[in-house]
Amino acid sequence: MAARLRASLPSGHLFPSASTDSPSDGPFAGFSGKPLGASNICRSPLKMEGTRNARLRILGSIERKPTFKTEASEEPVGLNRQLTEYEKQRLEGKDCGLDLFEELKFRFRRFKKRNYMENLVHYRNLSQQQTPKFMVIACADSRVCPSDVLGFQPGEAFTVRNVANLVPPFQHGASETSAALEFAVNSLEVPNILVIGHSRCGGIQALMRMKEGSDSRSFIKDWVSIGKNARLSTEAAAGSLSFDMQCRHCEKESINGSLLNLLTYPWIEKRVSEGALSLHGGYYDFVNCTFEKWTLVYREGLEGGSKYDINDRSLWS
């Protein structure tokens, strides 16, 4: 199926000129933030029993005492004082003398005070179920967290991250990405899958440096070889450009390759053909802080076989 779809797309059609929209016009504007329920995957009843009982006691106290939210958010005076002093030193560029985990502890306590305690009802709903509107497949690169870039809040996006944000084809067998896809599509029934690539991707650079027929026991090379077709396409279309420009082309080409690979999963193809699932690509340029977004439009039974097209392309800057 993917081969037929790829062959049906005219050369150079993958990246039409983008129209410029303001960020507020994107598909993430006006998000309702509906509660995202928590799954019970890999949750041990024995280990979680104490936590579950404690949660029930807390939630029960919220029901009996409507003012709990305000009191809870104002009670940790010592925490407020510590956070204020700590943040003041950070703003002044002072070394607070903290090790890495002390830094994380302060961040957690700040999250608890400013997010969790101020939104107890929302987090209570999240403890019961999740209904995300997106599944996001993003790169593991530490510079491109999708929750930071696109502002996803708890409950909005079921996310899997891997090297070079690749989607292996269905025939590739089991992987953490295919398992996440199965859960997101068949159990959570997400209406959108968004594959996000980014500039200066080390995984794509490794892919572009691979030699044909090279034998390697590297996990990285074995994994990024999933994007081989994107590399070959890039070499054909942009082989005369600099290595950096070839990598940039391949970063985007590999996103479309992953979108095609999504259609090799029978249950994804079925939901797409029924109009219940939409496939989107995104490219985050963290050097210039821009974001490109496009949608893969898939139609079956058109003249010449199954075809797809790129639609709804925009540039957010």
Strands 307-316 and 19-21: parallel
Q: Are the C-beta atoms of 276 and 292 separated by less than 8 Å?
A: no
Query: Residue 41: left (phi > 0), alpha (psi -120 to 50), or beta?
Result: beta
Which DSSP state fits 60?
A: H
**Is 198 assigned to a binding site?**
yes
Neighbours of 144 (CB within 10 A): 20
Query: What is the rounded CA–CA span in Å between residue 231 and residue 233?
Result: 5
**Is 122 assigned to a binding site?**
no
**Is 95 assigned to a binding site?**
no
Please give the distance of CA 109 from its chain centroid, rounded to a whole number: 25
Cα-based angle 210, 164, 300 (whole degrees, multiple of 5): 100
Neighbours of 27 (CB within 10 A): 18
**Is 201 assigned to a binding site?**
yes
**Partners of 292 in the β-ladder:** 283, 315
Q: Which residue positions form the known binding site?
A: 139, 141, 198, 201
Please report, in range form, the residues annotated as the binding site for Zn(2+): 139, 141, 198, 201
